[in-house]
């Protein structure tokens, strides 16, 4: 199974603070973990031709991870169309942190995906709200990220098909931090933590949830179905 991490990959080149935490890009610790879990891994980024998401790359990708922040608007609509189509055809999509505002997530949700935010490095505690769900597997009641950007409700998303985590923030807010959607034959998981200035993507629990998410979102054999014109009725029907 092949996992591709699409990283905007701008902060790491331009912000010393981010470079200090993720010198090779924030996708690297995640892909390294997923590689160790037995997945085939690849990376793609904004400044590559076609943002690194050619037809061939997408066709061979089972689950796509998406992280973006400062340059959502630079992602070409044609590439967003292409990713959306692949999701509807069955590719999994894991949307990370500030990618709540990515074109692809807003496209699949139909809403603004807006929220409240604050960046003082406060503590986040993610509570399991669905203990039987494959994505929370192995988490012990809750886990903490010691320093994170805060995202607070109201989070303008459609009602999730499943809500796996709800976050508590030291500064006083809550947030639906792990939410699942079915879209066409594809599965979408939004997972909140991962601000670029904190070492969140080195944390074992965060990596575990991402790995669980990849397994959950993986394409699976399905029922067949048909669209379009079927001029003949299955049943004989009396003439109108």
Binder among 46, 83, 109, 210 for its own copies (CB under 8 A): 109
* Pairing, β 162-169 against β 174-183: antiparallel
- Block residue for tokens 């709800």: 166
78 binds its own copies (CB under 8 A): no
Q: Count interface residues toward its own copies (CB under 8 A).
A: 82
**46 with 8: CB under 8 angstroms?**
yes
Is residue 64 a contact partner of residue 83, using CB atoms and an 8 Å limit?
yes
Closer to its own copies by Cβ: residue 49 or 221: 221
Q: Which residues pair with 150 in a beta bridge?
A: 118
Per CB under 8 A, contacts with its own copies among 171-190 are 171-174, 176, 181-187
Nearer to its own copies, 32 or 163 (CB): 163
State yes or no: residue 75 binds its own copies (CB under 8 A): no
Site residues for its own copies, window 132-161 (CB under 8 A)?
132-134, 136-141, 147, 150, 152-156, 158-159, 161
User: Smallest distance, Å, CB 47 to its own copies?
Assistant: 26
The rounded distance, in Å, linking the Cα atoms of 181 and 159 is 9
Bond before 154 cis per omega within 30 degrees: yes
Is 117 a binding residue for its own copies by CB under 8 A? The answer is yes
């Amino acid at each position: 199974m092949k996992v591709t991490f699409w990283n905007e990959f701008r902060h790491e080149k331009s912000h010393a603070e981010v470079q200090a935490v993720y010198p090779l890009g924030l996708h690297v610790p995640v892909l390294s973990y997923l590689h160790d879990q037995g997945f085939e891994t690849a990376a793609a980024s904004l400044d590559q031709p076609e943002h690194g998401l050619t037809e061939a790359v997408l066709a061979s990708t089972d689950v796509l991870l998406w992280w973006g922040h400062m340059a959502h608007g630079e992602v070409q609509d044609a590439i967003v169309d292409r990713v959306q189509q692949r999701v509807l055809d069955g590719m999994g999509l894991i949307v990370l942190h500030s990618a709540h505002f990515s074109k692809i997530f807003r496209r699949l949700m139909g809403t603004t995906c807006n929220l409240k935010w604050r960046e003082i490095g406060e503590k986040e505690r993610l509570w399991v709200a669905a203990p039987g769900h494959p994505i929370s597997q192995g988490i012990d009641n809750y886990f903490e990220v010691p320093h994170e950007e805060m995202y607070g409700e109201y989070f303008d998303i459609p009602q999730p098909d499943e809500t796996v985590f709800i976050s508590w923030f030291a500064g006083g807010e809550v947030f639906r931090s792990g939410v699942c959607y079915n879209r066409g034959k594809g599965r979408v998981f939004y997972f909140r933590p991962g601000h670029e200035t904190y070492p969140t993507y080195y944390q074992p629990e965060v990596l575990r949830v991402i790995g669980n998410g990849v397994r959950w979102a993986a394409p699976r054999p399905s029922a067949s179905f048909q669209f379009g014109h079927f001029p003949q009725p299955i049943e004989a029907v009396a003439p109108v």
